Structure 1
Amino acid sequence: MTGAARPVRLAVVTVVRDDLPGLLATRASLRAQTTAAFEWFVADGGSSDGTARWLADHQDEAAWWRSAPDRGLYDAMNIALDAIAERSPRSCSHVLFLNAGDRLADERTLERLLPILAEHPDAGLFYGDALEELPGGRLAVKRARSHRRALLGMFTHHQAMVYRLAESPGGRFDLRHGLAADYAFTLTVLKQGLPAQRLPLSVCIFAGGGRAQQDPARGRREQAIIRRELLGLGRTANATLWGLQWLALTLRQTIPWLYAKYRFSSNERSLLS
């Protein structure tokens, strides 16, 4: 059975722990959308900052929510995926991971996105550009690279990717990778041979400062393991890619204006669809 047998309905998964302001920012972005053809799944890792109480007081806003200890970000995503799979017959056809603090690019993002999902029912992955907030508050577009360059790493932010859900419980995030499980998840989807569709729009406003940005060396090590296991990449090729990633990170940290000139473009050009 292909994706065409199911109506297009998006599951938006938000993972949060002790970040009520971030959760509220994500919620405000979803409430501002011009279409309501989505369901919100919130996995809270047992917060103690009022997040759990807020979810209990606003439980009608989420299709599903949970507040309990978990084993981290990707375990919470797996728990949410299980919840989506169990919601038969109202199960959703696609999933977008929008963590606490992340927002959709504008109020018409889902209005633009959902028809594209419907036009490509057999695509396993959709991906678009992301907006990043630069110093001074200016939003800039971080263009997605082609999925054919996935060997180099994530070709756009995870929050700018939409995955088609399998008819039966499918892939899950590999908890061995604390920072790069989204990369392994994405490569696994691509290896299934399903089409990947480039979106002509920015999907998200990325909330920076996450663990991957705080510990990039660990992320690169995990990516090397993933490339070896899933792509069969040897030690020399992995070392070369590691060096290129290190060079890009060094450039961003030491000469941010040059990195921005190379990697970002103006917000106005990207939001046209």
Structure 2
Amino acid sequence: MEPKITIITAVYNGAKYIESTIASVIEHGGSCAYIIIDGGSTDGTQAIIQRYAAHLHFWVSEPDKGIYDAFNKGWNKANDDSFILFLGAGDTLLSLPQRESFEKADAIYGRVMMDDKSYFRATADFRLRLGNTLHHQALLIKKKLFPSSPFDLRFRTYADFDLNQRMLKAGVDFLFDSSFIAYALPGGVSAKFKVRESLAIVNKNFGPIYYVFSVLYYTLQFMKAKFAR
């Protein structure tokens, strides 16, 4: 049987980008159920979504509390036996994992192409305890792991990092599939690194020792970036 996949897009005033995201999902035919949660856009986004309504499992346009509130809404509308992927407006899905991967793990991650055509180096090992080493654009999560609303809305920028750490802490089986590829639009809510929130998430999930390790890790990364200029 084909794996059941649900793709969720959160958008607000994204008329400039939303159509490319929708097209990238539709290109995969009927293999994916597609959900779009619009935050009440006023720039023509709703009209674009309506043109593709026949291809959508569900869509709504209404005010929300931010991207992770929208993602939670989409998650709760997804089929209970599906794997779920999150895309923002402007992100595009390039290819899905091999069918066998869905039988081997509860979370599948792949490669995310960045603006300079390089790939984000995704990992789901000890490094995820220090910083977010997974991008949601190429991360499929089995819904049965979290029956409802997996994102903690206390974290406005890095609730996905919190979710990834919680999965790691719970011993979720992660699997890397190199054939799973997505493109991430540059910018977005996490474009400017928010140190305090990231450290708060590390402290919440892994305690003060990893908090200190993360401070050292972020400092090292900052210094490397500074001297690389």
- TM-score normalized with structure 1 length: 0.76
Contact 1:75 1:173 in 2 (8 A): yes
Contact 2:199 2:211 in 1 (8 A): yes
For 2:198, the equivalent position in structure 1 comes to: 223
Q: Number of matched residues?
A: 229
Q: Determine the C-alpha separation between the residues in 2 that align with 1:133 and 1:92.
A: 33
- Residue identity over aligned pairs, in percent, reads 26
- What SS class does the counterpart of residue 85 from structure 2 fall into? strand
Residue 185 in structure 1 maps to residue 163 in structure 2: yes
Q: Determine the C-alpha separation between the residues in 2 that align with 1:67 and 1:250.
A: 43
C-alpha spacing 1:167/1:238, structure 2 compared with 1 (3 Å): closer
Residue 22 in structure 1 maps to residue 25 in structure 2: no
The residue identity in structure 2 corresponding to 1:81 is: W
- What SS class does the counterpart of residue 78 from structure 1 fall into? helix
For 1:31, the equivalent position in structure 2 comes to: 26
The residue identity in structure 1 corresponding to 2:218 is: Q
For 1:97, the equivalent position in structure 2 comes to: 86
Unpaired runs of 5+ residues, structure 2, are none
Contact 2:17 2:89 in 1 (8 A): yes
The CA RMSD measured in Å over matched residues stands at: 2.2
- TM-score normalized with structure 2 length: 0.89
Once the two structures are TM-superposed, the CA of residue 9 in structure 1 deviates from its matched residue by 0.8
Q: Determine the C-alpha separation between the residues in 2 that align with 1:168 and 1:240.
A: 29
Per-residue CA deviations over 1:174-220 (Å, capped at 9, x if unaligned) read: 01101110011111222222311112235211111112113x1x2x2
Alignment of 1:81-230 (within 5 A): 81-85=75-79, 91-105=80-94, 109-110=95-96, 113-120=97-104, 123-134=105-116, 139-166=117-144, 169-170=147-148, 172-214=150-192, 216=193, 218=194, 220-230=195-205
Contact 1:8 1:117 in 2 (8 A): no
Unpaired runs of 5+ residues, structure 1, are 1-5, 86-90, 257-273
Q: Determine the C-alpha separation between the residues in 1 that align with 2:146 and 2:156.
A: 26
Contact 1:11 1:92 in 2 (8 A): no
Larger radius of gyration: 1
